[in-house]
Structures are given as structure tokens and as C-alpha cells.
């Protein structure tokens, strides 16, 4: 990878913060945007801005082509069979809530089981918790190993013929582990359950093929993969989407409206009522073009090398505790510096121009499992380099000396 060329594609990285060149290590929260994405959104608003699927005028036709073209790009990017399996949403949170609120009640009854893990982001935790509370179902957890990983054996012991839904993150936003979702999907299907995969942290960093994973639902957040905020994706197998009722009602999602009853369009349109996130979809399509040009295999390899380097550098600093497996496959390192609060660590690092995340990372059950209240997290992406990690390590040493 040409790291210098890639970094030059992100205008925001060319600045100083508190008198130091910016080192951005918070991509797991939200990635930065390349110039190609910014220009694509700007071009849409300057030349093609109109509503979609409605007007027959030129601008409306161009906007519709751009919107549906983005849907086709997403389908190809994740290996879906057809673009009709792609539903645009506001993000992973909305996508997971759509599955829990629309599909969930059609299959979950009192006594049924929903299986998740304690490492899930709240977006893939609370919807299932609330569905279980509403229906009287049992919420079960695949136990974590000592290093925070999940094994097939543990999944097989937890998932039973009573299980109707299994939901799991492909990549943990705290532990940095890649979960064996393909193998767990096999266990789920063997027991008659569907597999829901939270792809918010995997899609930006790994080459994904939903057909190979054989998951039933897969979710994406555009802002974590160089796209704009406010746009996401729910992938669902066509048969499942076709059987799901809409949960939002209004314009464009209808087939026929009578005085006392109405009918709905086929998926995905039945789930995209009202004016959709047109500019967001255009920006997401541009982000996919950019990532494809760089190469997902290259990005994955680059991050794996950086993660190894980061683990080596941080583990050499006395007082730094690193959470999760010793060997990382993705560019994410979660740690604490002695008994210093992570917010204080992040504040000192920010004074050196190094941006990291501190807090519970929307994973409070996992924090309790780790027996901590919060942690610091450095998350890497394609625009980061070994020099960025050196800056992080040097700033951590300064923080250690400061608090000592």
C-alpha cells in the first residue's frame, strides 16, 4: 500500500491539533472521509439533487440512477445475490432494530431462545434484550473464553432446537477478535435458527461475502467505512425480507392505499418509506469505489501488520494492560494505563495531537466481564502508519510520567 498517497486522499488528516500533526486513531467510532466521497456528495447536491423514484424529469432520473447504482455497488461489495437484498437504513443500529422489530415477532414466542454474546455492542444487545422481554423468550449468552474469544464448542452447547435467532458481531469493537460467524451460522441453521451478523466493524476492514458466510441478515454502517454518516445497510436473504412486515409507513413504500387497508411494495422498497438517504447512498457508493480501488485484501493485510506492531509497542510500556487475545487480526487495541482513568489518558494524548476513544465503547456488559468500568482504545485504518503508532506510544509514555 502507498501509505503516503492514501493519507493524502483524506483532507482532514492534513492539520495540526494542539500544535501537533493529527494522529487519528478512532476509526472504530467513525472513519475519516476521502476526497472522492466528499466530491461525490458535493456533485450530487450541485448537479443531481432531486427526489428518487418519483419525477420523470432529468434530475429525478439521474438521482434515481445514482441511488439505485449505490445499492448495486453494495450488493457486489458484500457478495449478495441481488440488489433487492439490500435495504438502505440510517446505520447498523437501525438495521438491527428493523430485524428485531419486524422479523423478531414473527418467529419469537414465549419459551423460545435468542442467543448473543456478552461482547456485543449495545446496538446488537438491547434490541434482542427488549424482544425477549416483550415476548417472554429466553436471552442466552455464548460464554467467552479467557482471552475474550468465542469457540464453536461453546456455541454448540448454547444453541439448541429452541433457539430461533443467533446474533453476533463479526468483529468485536473492543476485543479486536474476528468471530467464527460462518461456523456458528452452520450451528444455528442446524438447529433451525437464523444468523444475524453485526458487520459494523468487519465490513471496513475485511473482504466480506455474505453468501460464503451464509448469514441470514448482515448489517453495515457507512460512516465506519469511509462513507458519510446517517447511511447504513441491512442485507437480508430475499425470502426473509419478503416475509417481513414494514414497521414504518408512508410514501413510496406502498403498493395500494385504500380507505381502510393498504398493501406494500416488495422488499427493499417496503422498508424505505419517505424520502430516502439519497446523498448518503451516493457517498457510500463512492466509498465502496475507493475501498475497492485500494483493495480490501491489501487493507486487511496492512491493518494486521499495524496491529502486530501496535501490540509490540504498547506491551513494552510498563503499566499498560491490553485486553483481548495477544495476536490481533484487525487494527484495534484496547488498553488501560495503570489505575489512570481512560478519559484522563485520552485527554493527555489529545494534547499531543493523538485522538483515541475512551469509555465503555457501548459495551457495558463486556466491561463488567472484563471487571473494569472503561478502557482506552486505539483503532487503526488504511490511512494509519507505524509512525502514528510510535506517536501513540510516545504520548502514552508522557502520560505515564505526567500522572506518576
- Helix 386-403 to helix 342-351 angle (10° resolution) is 120
Residue holding cell 434484550? 129
Cα–Cα distance measured from residue 247 to residue 214, given in angstroms and rounded to the nearest whole number: 25
| Interior angle at CA 211, CA 93 and CA 165, nearest 5 | 50
Cα–Cα distance measured from residue 376 to residue 202, given in angstroms and rounded to the nearest whole number: 20
Strand locations in 189-275 (E): 194-198, 217-221, 232-236, 254-257, 262-264
Cα–Cα distance measured from residue 168 to residue 36, given in angstroms and rounded to the nearest whole number: 32
- Please indicate whether residue 363 is annotated as part of the active site: no
Long-range Cβ contacts of 383-387 (<8 Å, 24+ apart): 383/3, 383/6, 383/7, 383/9, 383/10, 383/13, 383/24, 383/32, 384/23, 384/24, 384/25, 384/27, 384/306, 384/331, 385/3, 385/7, 385/306, 386/306, 386/309
Catalytic residue among 215, 226, 362, 363: 362
Task: Check: CB of residue 219 under 8 Å from CB of residue 235.
Answer: yes
Cα–Cα distance measured from residue 49 to residue 55, given in angstroms and rounded to the nearest whole number: 12
> What's CA 53's distance to the chain center, in Å?
28
C-alpha distances (whole Å) from 127 to each of 85, 198, 251, 330 are 22, 12, 26, 26
Long-range Cβ contacts of 184-189 (<8 Å, 24+ apart): 184/142, 184/150, 184/152, 184/155, 184/159, 185/213, 185/214, 185/215, 185/216, 186/214, 187/152, 187/155, 187/156, 187/159, 188/115, 188/159, 188/163, 189/214
Quick one: which H or E segment has residue 121? Answer: none
Q: What are phi and psi of 358, to 5 degrees?
A: -135, 140
The single-letter DSSP state of residue 266 is P
Q: Annotated active-site positions, please?
A: 362
Amino acid at each position: 500500500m502507498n501509505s503516503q498517497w492514501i493519507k493524502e486522499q483524506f483532507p482532514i488528516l492534513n492539520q495540526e491539533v494542539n500544535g501537533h500533526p493529527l494522529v487519528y486513531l478512532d476509526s472504530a467510532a467513525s472513519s475519516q472521509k476521502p476526497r472522492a466521497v466528499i466530491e461525490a456528495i458535493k456533485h450530487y447536491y450541485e448537479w443531481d439533487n432531486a427526489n428518487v423514484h418519483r419525477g420523470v424529469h432529468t434530475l429525478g432520473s439521474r438521482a434515481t440512477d445514482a441511488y439505485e447504482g449505490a445499492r448495486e455497488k453494495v450488493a457486489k461489495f458484500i457478495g449478495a445475490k441481488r440488489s433487492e437484498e439490500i435495504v438502505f437504513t440510517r446505520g447498523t443500529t437501525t438495521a438491527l432494530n428493523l430485524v428485531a422489530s419486524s422479523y423478531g415477532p414473527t418467529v419469537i414466542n414465549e419459551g423460545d431462545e435468542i442467543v448473543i454474546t456478552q461482547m456485543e455492542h449495545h446496538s446488537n444487545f438491547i434490541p434482542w434484550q427488549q424482544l425477549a422481554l416483550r415476548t417472554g423468550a429466553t436471552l442466552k449468552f455464548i460464554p467467552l473464553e479467557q482471552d475474550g474469544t468465542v469457540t464453536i464448542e461453546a456455541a454448540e452447547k448454547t444453541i439448541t432446537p429452541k433457539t430461533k435467532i443467533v446474533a453476533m458481531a463479526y468483529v468485536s469493537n473492543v476485543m479486536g477478535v474476528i468471530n467464527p460467524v460462518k461456523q456458528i451460522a452452520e450451528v444455528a441453521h442446524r438447529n433451525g435458527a437464523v444468523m444475524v451478523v453485526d458487520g459494523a466493524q468487519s465490513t471496513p476492514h475485511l473482504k466480506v461475502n455474505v453468501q460464503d458466510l451464509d448469514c441470514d441478515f448482515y448489517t453495515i454502517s457507512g460512516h465506519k467505512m469511509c462513507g458519510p454518516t446517517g447511511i447504513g445497510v441491512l442485507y437480508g436473504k430475499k425470502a426473509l425480507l419478503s416475509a417481513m412486515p414494514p414497521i414504518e409507513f408512508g410514501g413510496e413504500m406502498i403498493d395500494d392505499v385504500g380507505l381502510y387497508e393498504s398493501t406494500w411494495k416488495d422488499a427493499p422498497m417496503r422498508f424505505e418509506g419517505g424520502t430516502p438517504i439519497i446523498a448518503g447512498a451516493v457517498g457510500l457508493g463512492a466509498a465502496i469505489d475507493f475501498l475497492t480501488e485500494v483493495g480490501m485484501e491489501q487493507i486487511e493485510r496492512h491493518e494486521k501488520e499495524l496491529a502486530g506492531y501496535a501490540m509490540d509497542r504498547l506491551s513494552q510500556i510498563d503499566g499498560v494492560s491490553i485486553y483481548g487475545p495477544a495476536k490481533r487480526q484487525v487494527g484495534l487495541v484496547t488498553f488501560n494505563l495503570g489505575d489512570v482513568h481512560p478519559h484522563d489518558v485520552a485527554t493527555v494524548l489529545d494534547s499531543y495531537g493523538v485522538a483515541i476513544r475512551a469509555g465503555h465503547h457501548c459495551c457495558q456488559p463486556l466491561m463488567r466481564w472484563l471487571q473494569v468500568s472503561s478502557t482506552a482504545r486505539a483503532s487503526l485504518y488504511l490511512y494509519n502508519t507505524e509512525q502514528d503508532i510510535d506517536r501513540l506510544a510516545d504520548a502514552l509514555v508522557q502520560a505515564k510520567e505526567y500522572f506518576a
